[in-house]
């Protein structure tokens, strides 16, 4: 797993109140009971951890953890 | 509130000044938002017991809002936003031009949207925040000659309740206070007859003071009000009953 994947899984597990090993890239946000506002919060936490600005407004359309990882990885700040 | 920054838009006006002073007394660092009258805002900042700084903000302008947020953020953690900036422009609807209507909507409603959107990031990060929107008794009662103003103030209550629902789980509360007739520079221009009538409407039989409004805002902005969200608290001497 990449550093980004590890961080995303770790943060989402904390937000969902689960151990990290119960969250995988295939896990859906619905199954974690997380909504689009939680995903905004995820990006804020990642911004703090990674020191970059993640400027996306389409998080409501993401379904799985891997979707979020891909979306975040493709932002200008991280893709550069 | 000693480690918090509170931004009060329209902080140099009558109600705004009282709110700034009330929040400063709790230990918050107060950013006294003003649009044009820097000397009035600096005077308010000086009258605050704690630390207070005048911050220029045009709530209708996204860049100005971003600049003010950055300036307020430099003072500490921005945890309290009081959307108090507003304009009043009374006339019969038949005489109210679309331009005047739009101006009221832009300042009173769009302003609250822009500032609230801007503070949500720091509030979500901290999982704590207080947004208090200053509405008006006329938002619920209506008032002849104030269709546009009343629409903005009623709109602000709907905005308050919707945003409150969005962010409630994140430790952020969003409430409104609706003052009745408060004697300030803004209401001084009302005809004597109108002021008499407004006072008559309130069962307490007198105008509400700016300090009485400020006390309600201070409470809603406190830790003690953590379970209160989406409320429109009337501070109107009973006028809206």
Pairing of strands B172-179, B129-134: parallel
Q: Which pLDDT band, with edges at 50, 70 and 90, does B2 fall under?
A: low
Provide the pLDDT for residue B208: 93
For the stretch A19-71, pLDDT in tens is 989 999 999 989 998 888 888 888 888 888 877 777 766 776 788 989 888 88
**Count of CB atoms situated within 10 Å of the CB of B176:** 28
Domain chopping of chain B, boundaries? 4-235
Q: Which residue of B has its CA nearest to A38?
A: B170
Provide the pLDDT for residue A77: 61
Provide the pLDDT for residue A76: 61
Provide the pLDDT for residue B179: 95
For the stretch A3-23, pLDDT in tens is 888 988 998 898 889 998 999
The verdict on a CB contact (< 8 Å) between A37 and B167 is yes
Task: Say if B185 is an interface residue toward chain A (CB within 8 Å).
Answer: no
Q: Verify whether residue A21 is a known catalytic residue.
A: no
Instruction: Give me the CATH code for the B4-235 domain, please.
Output: 3.40.50.720
Could you tell me the pTM of the whole model? 0.90
The verdict on a CB contact (< 8 Å) between A44 and B124 is yes
* B9/A76 Cα distance (integer angstroms): 34
Which one is catalytic: A21, A35, A58, A67?
Answer: A35
Does the complex come out with an ipTM higher than 0.85? Answer: no
């Amino acid at each position: 797993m990449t550093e980004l994947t590890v961080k995303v899984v770790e943060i989402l597990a904390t937000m969902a109140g689960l151990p990290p090993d119960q969250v995988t890239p295939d896990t859906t946000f619905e199954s974690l009971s997380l909504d689009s506002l939680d995903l905004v919060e995820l990006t804020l936490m990642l911004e703090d951890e990674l020191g970059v600005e993640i400027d996306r407004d389409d998080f409501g359309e993401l379904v799985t953890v891997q979707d979020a990882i891909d979306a975040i990885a493709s932002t200008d700040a991280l893709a550069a | 509130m000693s480690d918090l920054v509170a931004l009060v838009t329209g902080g140099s006006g009558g109600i705004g000044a009282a709110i700034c002073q009330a929040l400063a007394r709790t230990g918050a660092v107060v950013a006294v938002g003003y649009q044009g009258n820097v000397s009035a805002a600096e005077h308010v900042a000086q009258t605050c017991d704690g630390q207070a700084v005048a911050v220029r903000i045009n709530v209708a302008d996204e860049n100005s809002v971003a600049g003010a947020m950055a300036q307020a953020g430099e003072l500490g953690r921005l945890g309290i936003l009081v959307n108090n900036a507003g304009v009043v422009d009374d006339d019969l609807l038949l005489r109210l031009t679309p331009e005047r209507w739009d101006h009221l909507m832009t300042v009173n409603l769009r302003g609250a949207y822009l500032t609230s959107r801007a503070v949500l990031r720091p509030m979500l990060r901290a999982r704590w925040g207080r947004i208090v929107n200053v509405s008006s008794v006329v938002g619920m009662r209506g008032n002849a000659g104030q269709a546009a103003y009343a629409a903005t103030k009623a709109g602000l209550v709907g905005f308050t309740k919707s945003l409150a629902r969005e962010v409630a789980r994140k430790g952020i509360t969003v409430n409104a206070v609706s003052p009745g007739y408060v004697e300030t520079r803004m209401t001084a221009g009302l005809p004597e007859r109108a002021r008499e009538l407004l006072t008559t409407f309130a069962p307490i039989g007198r105008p509400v003071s700016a300090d009485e409004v400020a006390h309600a805002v201070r409470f809603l902005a406190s830790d003690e009000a953590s379970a209160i969200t989406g409320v429109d608290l009337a501070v109107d001497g009973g006028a809206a009953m």
